[in-house]
């Protein structure tokens, strides 16, 4: 008899069913996000194949409240799965979406515990044993990743762990994008002229610091460049740059550290915010101060603002 294995999520709560016991599969209060770039999904699928040993991996994000579209394939021998629209509750992936939990079958076509709308595409690719893992961000299902074998065998813990880890990669990418959009929205709401109220400028400066802290977490090079461009525009928006001041070039992490210092952070606090060691932060700050011609932390902040490096 075929069974669907429902794998419990890790202790950190990723992929957990909401307290009511009803899986959320829509976008209540979230809004449909921009899709994760292909490079990020491909990276997650490549990791799944590499760490699990599964020959095939594929996945996609929800396009509305109940449907995910398979957009990326890794290891597939046909294009049968590409573009397939998965409905919540239908097939193995739809079941994983509806339950907000990983699910697996040892023989897809013979399983009595899933519906079989997608059998032709699965058969065309020759898939038998399949695991499906939902992508969950802030308790909302946002997509689904699959790994599969072309023989009907039970999948072990190593395979499940690898599939869950790959889904977490996509979750992190989505979470970063959500935070970026939120911060960008905040900056758009603020007055960005030299006469802005002091409180508004503090919000802009905090948004600038947080955006810069997110840059190293972004996998997509185009989005990373866009973030750096926005940070640059925020830094120069105050109009305080002194035209006759000598041009100063700081490394990205040096700017990050000085931005933290501008917020009153100690080296230890800056290290926690940036995911660095305190000794590393100290080294970046020392280098930035030298380039800025500053002898104190306060002088470094003032010089960075005059140079248009900070808002």
Same domain, 146 and 20: yes
Report pLDDT for 31: 35
pLDDT in tens, 132-143: 999 999 899 999
Same domain, 171 and 294: no
What average pLDDT does the structure give for the chain? 80
Number of domains in the chain: 2
Q: What is the domain extent for residue 217?
A: 190-306
Same domain, 25 and 136: yes
Of 105-119, 184-198, 243-257, 275-289, the range with the lowest mean pLDDT is 184-198
Same domain, 35 and 153: yes
304: pLDDT confidence band, cut at 50, 70 and 90?
confident
50: pLDDT confidence band, cut at 50, 70 and 90?
very high
Same domain, 35 and 158: yes
Residue 17, pLDDT > 60, answer no
- The residue with greater pLDDT, 295 or 206, is 295
Report pLDDT for 166: 94
**Reduced 3-state DSSP string for the chain:** CCCCEECCCCCCCCCCCCCCCCCCCCCCCCCCCCCCCHHHHHHHHHHHHHHHCCCEEEEEEECCCCEEECCEEECCCCCCCCCCEEECCCHHHHHHHHHCCCEEECCCCCCCCCCCCCHHHHHHHCCCEEEEEEEEECCEEEEEEEEEECCCCCCCHHHHHHHHHHHHHHHHHHHHHHHHHHHHHHHHHCCCCCCCCHHHHHHHHHHHHHHHHHHHHCCCHHHHHHHHHHHHHHHHCCCCCCCCCCCCCCCHHHHHHHHHHHCCCCHHHHHHHHCCCHHHHHHHHHHHHHHHCCCCHHHHHHHHHHCCCCC
Residue 260, pLDDT > 50, answer yes
Report pLDDT for 12: 37
Residue 283, pLDDT > 90, answer yes
**Global confidence as pTM:** 0.63
């Amino acid at each position: 008899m075929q069974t669907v294995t429902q794998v419990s999520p890790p202790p950190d709560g990723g992929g957990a069913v909401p307290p009511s016991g009803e899986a959320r599969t829509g976008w209540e209060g979230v809004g449909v996000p921009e899709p994760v770039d292909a490079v990020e999904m491909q990276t997650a699928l490549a990791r799944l194949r590499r760490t699990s040993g599964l020959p095939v991996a594929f996945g996609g994000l929800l396009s509305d409240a109940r449907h995910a579209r398979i957009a990326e394939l890794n290891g597939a021998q046909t294009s049968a799965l590409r573009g397939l629209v998965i409905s919540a509750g239908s097939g193995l992936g739809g079941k994983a979406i509806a339950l907000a939990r990983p699910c697996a079958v040892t023989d897809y076509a013979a399983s009595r515990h899933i519906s079989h709308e997608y059998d032709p595409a699965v058969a065309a690719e020759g898939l038998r044993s399949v695991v499906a893992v939902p992508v969950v961000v802030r308790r909302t299902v946002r997509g689904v990743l699959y790994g599969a074998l072309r023989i009907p065998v039970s999948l072990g813990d190593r395979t499940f762990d690898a599939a869950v880890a790959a889904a977490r990669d996509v979750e992190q990418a989505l979470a970063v994008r959500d935070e970026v959009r939120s911060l960008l929205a905040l900056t758009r709401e603020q007055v960005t002229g030299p006469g802005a109220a002091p409180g508004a400028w503090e919000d802009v400066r905090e948004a600038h610091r947080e955006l810069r802290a997110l840059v190293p977490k972004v996998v997509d090079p185009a989005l990373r460049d866009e973030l750096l461009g926005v940070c640059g525009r925020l830094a120069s928006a105050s109009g305080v740059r002194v035209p006759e001041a000598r041009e100063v070039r700081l490394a990205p992490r040096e700017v990050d550290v000085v931005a933290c210092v501008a917020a009153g952070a100690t080296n230890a606090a800056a290290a926690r915010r940036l995911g660095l060691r305190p000794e590393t932060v100290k080294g970046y700050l020392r280098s930035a101060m030298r380039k800025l011609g500053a002898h104190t932390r306060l002088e470094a902040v003032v010089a960075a603002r005059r140079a248009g490096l900070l808002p």
